[in-house]
Amino acid sequence: MSIRKVARMGHPVLREKARDLTPEEIGSDEFERLLEDMVDTMEEYGGIGLAAPQIHESLSVAIIEYADDHPRYSEQTEKKDGADGETSMPLTVFINPKVTVLDPAEQGFWEGCLSVPELRGLVYRPRKIRVDYLDRDAKPRSVVAEGFLATVFQHELDHLSGTLFVDRIRYAPGESPISFVEEYARYHVPARDSDVGELAD
């Protein structure tokens, strides 16, 4: 187990399409060590998700761990009336994941990323999705996520196709949908009753 160096924007590994893993690879000792390193690295930096390309491994695997009472994000995950998707997630491994949009209505969050330090960007994504994936025993699984957790999934799984949150930002004259962290804290932190939320990493 070890804490890996995080790849930063500009490194080619973050722009590659990650390779799917075979069932034989999923059961290997090498893969288990990779997962341990991913967990250690995510916890070291206080993240709620991490994709393998972020630690220089171009493999289609990501981990997510998020409790809806997380002190940094609890305001983002208040369950809406009628919501039937997951809004929290115990530590889970997602191998060869595929995303299907279930509700194309969009929600906006100011996103940040360990691989894009010191920047925040306003990104709009579908509010409800299904993720089909293999678990660490190579068995097929699926999960439906909505609200903030749906954004977490889409942010992390974008890394597996070589996409960063900055690629999703929409620009318009006179607007500032991307900001350094200091200026974000000063000018852009969403109000509690805002339709826009925050995903710091």
Pairing of strands 196-199, 89-113: parallel
Closest CA to 190 of 128, 110, 111: 110
Q: Which domains, and CATH codes, for the chain?
A: 12-199 (3.90.45.10)
pLDDT band at 198 (very low <50, low <70, confident <90, very high): confident
Told to judge if 57 belongs to the known catalytic residues of this protein, a careful annotator would answer no
pLDDT band at 81 (very low <50, low <70, confident <90, very high): very low
Question: 28 is written with which tokens?
Answer: 């290997």
The answer to whether 94 and 62 have CB atoms below 8 angstroms apart is yes
pLDDT in tens, 143-197: 999 999 999 999 999 999 999 999 999 998 888 899 999 999 999 888 765 667 7
Three-class SS of residue 161?
Answer: helix
Given the residues 156, 175, 182, 198, the one annotated as active site: 156
State pTM to two decimals.
Answer: 0.90
The answer to whether 117 and 5 have CB atoms below 8 angstroms apart is no
Q: Which residue has the tokens 């509690």?
A: 192
pLDDT in tens, 97-154: 999 999 999 999 999 999 999 999 999 999 999 999 999 999 999 999 999 999 999 9
Please determine, for residue 49, whether its predicted confidence score (pLDDT) is greater than 50: yes
